[in-house]
Amino acid sequence: MVNITRHNTPGRLIAVEGLDGSGKSTQIYLLKRWLEVENYKVSFTEWNSSFLVKNATKKGKKRQLLTPTTFSLIHCTDFADRYERQIWPLLRAGYIVLADRYIFTAFARDVVRGCDPEWVKNNYSFATLPDIIFYFKIDPEIAVNRILDGRPKLKYHEAGMDLNLSSDPYESFRIFQGKIYEAYDKMANDFDFTIIDATLLVDKQQQIVRQLLREQIDLPAFKIKK
């Protein structure tokens, strides 16, 4: 059994997790704006965005070269690049780091794709646990409808088409998101998710998030000194 431990740096790591359509990106954006405007040392990082690895991932997805194993490893590589060069140095420097999706996204997706949970956990074990994990919990039906209402063109992996759940991308997406929801649910206790009701009004959720942040982090210590 691999253990993932929490860092001992002057920084603080806040992660948001949740289904597509849960509104988590909006919430973390508002959190970031607030902290920036109030002059806190804050930085933001998002899933699947490493400059070094992004092209390989894009190519792999586009040409459907990925298996569950390589899908998992390539995302882990992407994450490692951001972690080693961005997240970890920022924590060392005493920043509040906001992460739009963190290792739990990988745990949920990779396990749903059939990877061994312990293996995936091991692979990400170089990363620290966040100080707070906000999980924007929402019924998958509602989240899926929020996304599908606009009849978007779903990407192959986004819809979970590689899992052969259904030949209809929309149906596949529904089933896939249901499975991701179950995977998040299983993790919620183990990793001590702070659950936010993602069906509340946007500003109500933001109030709750900011309040929790104030309670759990000594914010004045992160003010930029003038």
Partner 1 sequence: MKFYGKGLPKCKPEELTGKLIVIEGADGSGRSTQIRLLTDWLESSGHATINVGLKRSNLVSTELEQAMQGNTLSPITLSLFYATDFADQLENNIIPALKAGFIVLADRYIYTLMARDNVRGGDPEWLKNIYSAIALIPDAVFYLNVSPRFLIERNFQKQTNLDYWESGMDIRLSRDIFDSFIKFQRKIKNEFSKMQKEYDFAVINGNRSPRAIFMDLQKKIENVLEKKSYAK
The residues of the shown chain that bind partner 1, judged by CB under 8 A, are 2, 52-53, 55-56, 59-60, 65-70, 73-74, 76-77, 80-81, 83-85, 114-116, 119, 122-123, 125-126
Assess contact for 135 and 184: CB atoms under 8 A: yes
Helix and strand element counts for the chain (H, E): 9, 5
Query: Least separation, in Å, of the C-beta of 183 and partner 1?
Result: 16
Query: What CA–CA distances, in Å, run from 221 to 163, 211, 214?
Result: 47, 16, 11
Q: How far is the CB of 72 from partner 1 (least distance, A)?
A: 9
CB of 112 to partner 1, least distance (A): 12
* Cα–Cα distance, 77 to 57 (Å, whole number): 10
2 versus 202: smaller Cβ distance to partner 1: 2
CB of 81 to partner 1, least distance (A): 4
Nearer to partner 1, 82 or 174 (CB): 82
| Token reading at 14 | 């806040």
Question: Do residues 54 and 62 touch, judged by C-beta distance below 8 A?
Answer: no
Q: Which letter does DSSP use for residue 52 in this model?
A: H
Comparing CB distances to partner 1, the nearer of 73 and 208 is 73
Which residues, in sequence order, are bridge partners of residue 99? 15, 45
Reduce the DSSP state of residue 95 to 3 states and report it: coil
Specify the residue, 32 or 113, whose C-beta has the smaller distance to partner 1.
113
27 or 105: whose CB is closer to partner 1?
Answer: 105
User: Minimum distance from CB of 122 to partner 1 (Å)?
Assistant: 4
Task: Say which amino acid occupies 4.
Answer: I
Q: What secondary structure letter does DSSP report for 201?
A: -
**Which CB sits closer to partner 1, 93 or 142?**
93
Q: E strands of 19-154, at which residues?
A: 42-46, 96-100, 132-137
Backbone angles phi, psi at 98, to 5 degrees: -105, 125
Nearer to partner 1, 129 or 208 (CB): 129
Please state the closest distance from residue 53 (CB atom) to partner 1, in A: 7
How far is Cα 98 from Cα 46, in angstroms, rounded to an integer?
8
Least distance to partner 1, CB of residue 51, Å: 8
